[in-house]
Chain A
């Protein structure tokens, strides 16, 4: 009897040793996978900073390109990107927050809601170049807006709509149900409750979503290639019906077109560095702000 028990104990120990080794091996593997992601991010940033840092000067940030874009700065691109991204969120924020309010506050589960969600998911997946084609056929050609800030901002607004809806819904979901119940219990109507209680409570996290979609619009290239961006434009846009230069498109043009690709390499690195500094900076702000909001709750 005791002999038998010893035997099983030994077997158990042996196999448990093997199991622990296996466990540790897999943990190391998974940790390694996570590390590769972090490394990839760091390597990209490292190369851009290493090669682009020397290009960043005050003149680079404040001057227009000169001598067929082989010298000078990127100021028109920064301005163009700012117009386009702020134009985009001016469109996507109201539509996105409105959609989120409907989906989270009013809608009852059913076919219609499922259809709307299916459309939002699809919209999130439509390739950016297809958005560009749509913008070309609809805004540029059919609505006669031409290649302009207006066309580009509309396309980018539609493109970032799913992102805004997603983050606004999350913001609304994080408002405790007791807030709504208290307000309704005091005799407020549904709209009064949403407007006076739910929205103010959800507003800070909605801002985070806004920053994220701003950065998404700022980095987008394919969608503005046929709708808003031009190779070269010494003048700053005077109205929303003018075309603009934009940071991402400028990188693409310098890196692939023309005869001076090698000569302008430092400008390409410099422009890329400015773009990722803007985009990663906005994302970091959003992430830090969001984690603070979560802790406060």
Chain B
């Protein structure tokens, strides 16, 4: 009897530890809202999100974050355009084509790529890629939307690749065997059978890779150029949301409108992340390939 009570207590204890993740997430949301919402006494939510001018230190200040949102969206889309084909193709190579020996090197290489600290990638973009772009394309500055997207692409490739590779590797082998037995060659089996069967996993990887790109801070802080304007070309400097927070928080006096506005940008980023994860969660639960029978 005593034993049972002890077991019950231990079980509850572990439940409480697991619950900490939920608690932290709620705590983050609570403190963002607490410090961010006061800005909406100064500007309406609509003016904040759709305002075209971000001059937080001018008088009177302008708190419109549309240029920052658009910068984040453009940088993310462009980096996805580069990272999605690269990541998915690498995943297919590792899962289906590479010999076991190559695989043993390629998989850790992708992991190492993922582990590169973002500040180092940002530094690399600043001192190596930016001068190169500036000279090659004869630009006023190499710190721009394109450079940032390129660097972000290399940060999201490992995520897209790892998750897609997991999905591709977990396709039941009898599906592939059936396809090969019907006379399809390997590439036909990959395109007609394996990719359709692992599509939900691949989509999850793509969504999470994009989520990483939109929230990544150091890279866009160091290489995006920092101009809070709606970009007109690929080579314009931009100022995505995370970069704005990181660059301006040190100067914003505690409790000022500027301080609250930066927290409000944090809320927007939090909501973006929540959306991306909800979609990923939905896709991976709804369209999961279970066994061989449901294809």
Knowing A37-B161, A137-B34 are in contact, say whether A272-B281 is a contact too (CB < 8 A): no
Knowing A30-B89, A41-B113, A219-B119 are in contact, say whether A130-B266 is a contact too (CB < 8 A): yes
Knowing A99-B18, A119-B21 are in contact, say whether A127-B115 is a contact too (CB < 8 A): no
Chain B residues whose C-beta falls within 8 Å of the C-beta of A41 in the assembled complex? 109, 112-113, 116
Interface centre among B92, B187, B263 (most CB of A within 10 A): B187
Chain A residues whose C-beta falls within 8 Å of the C-beta of B27 in the assembled complex? 134, 138
Contact with A along B101-126 (1 / 0, CB 8 A): 00010101111110111111111101
Which one of A107, A255, A269 contacts B18 once the chains associate, using CB atoms below 8 Å? A107
Chain A residues whose C-beta falls within 8 Å of the C-beta of B280 in the assembled complex? 121
Q: How far is the CB of B114 from chain A (nearest CB, A)?
A: 9
| B217 close to A190 (CB less than 8 A) | no
CB of B137 closer than 8 Å to a CB of A: no
Contact residues of A between 182 and 227, Cβ < 8 Å to B: 189-191, 212, 215-216, 218-222, 225-226
Chain B residues whose C-beta falls within 8 Å of the C-beta of A293 in the assembled complex? none
Complex-state Cα separation, A127 to B121, whole angstroms? 16
| B15 close to A34 (CB less than 8 A) | no
Knowing A38-B106, A121-B280, A161-B21 are in contact, say whether A280-B112 is a contact too (CB < 8 A): yes
CB of B222 closer than 8 Å to a CB of A: yes
Q: How far is the CB of B110 from chain A (nearest CB, A)?
A: 6
User: A105's closest neighbor in chain B, by CB?
Assistant: B14
CB of B205 closer than 8 Å to a CB of A: no
Which one of B110, B116, B187 contacts A27 once the chains associate, using CB atoms below 8 Å? B187
Which one of A19, A130, A287 contacts B32 once the chains associate, using CB atoms below 8 Å? A130
CB of A95 closer than 8 Å to a CB of B: yes
CB of A158 closer than 8 Å to a CB of B: yes
Which one of A19, A212, A226 contacts B249 once the chains associate, using CB atoms below 8 Å? A226
Chain B residues whose C-beta falls within 8 Å of the C-beta of A58 in the assembled complex? none
CB of B211 closer than 8 Å to a CB of A: yes
Q: How far is the CB of A190 from chain B (nearest CB, A)?
A: 6
Which size bracket describes the interface of B in this complex? 35 or more
Complex-state Cα separation, A222 to B98, whole angstroms? 37
CB of B59 closer than 8 Å to a CB of A: no
| B120 close to A219 (CB less than 8 A) | yes
Contact with B along A102-138 (1 / 0, CB 8 A): 1101110000000110111111011111111110111
CB of B179 closer than 8 Å to a CB of A: no
Q: How far is the CB of A161 from chain B (nearest CB, A)?
A: 7
Contact with A along B269-292 (1 / 0, CB 8 A): 110011011001100000000000
| B18 close to A98 (CB less than 8 A) | yes
User: B105's closest neighbor in chain A, by CB?
Assistant: A38
CB of A5 closer than 8 Å to a CB of B: no
CB of B31 closer than 8 Å to a CB of A: yes
User: A51's closest neighbor in chain B, by CB?
Assistant: B127
Q: Which 6 A-B pairs have the closest CB atoms?
A: A127-B215, A219-B117, A98-B17, A33-B89, A222-B217, A102-B18
Question: Apart from A126-B25, A269-B127, what are 20 other A-B pairs with CB-CB below 8 Å?
Answer: A23-B185, A23-B186, A27-B186, A30-B89, A37-B90, A37-B113, A118-B277, A127-B214, A127-B273, A128-B217, A129-B217, A130-B215, A165-B21, A189-B6, A221-B118, A222-B118, A248-B119, A280-B115, A284-B112, A291-B104
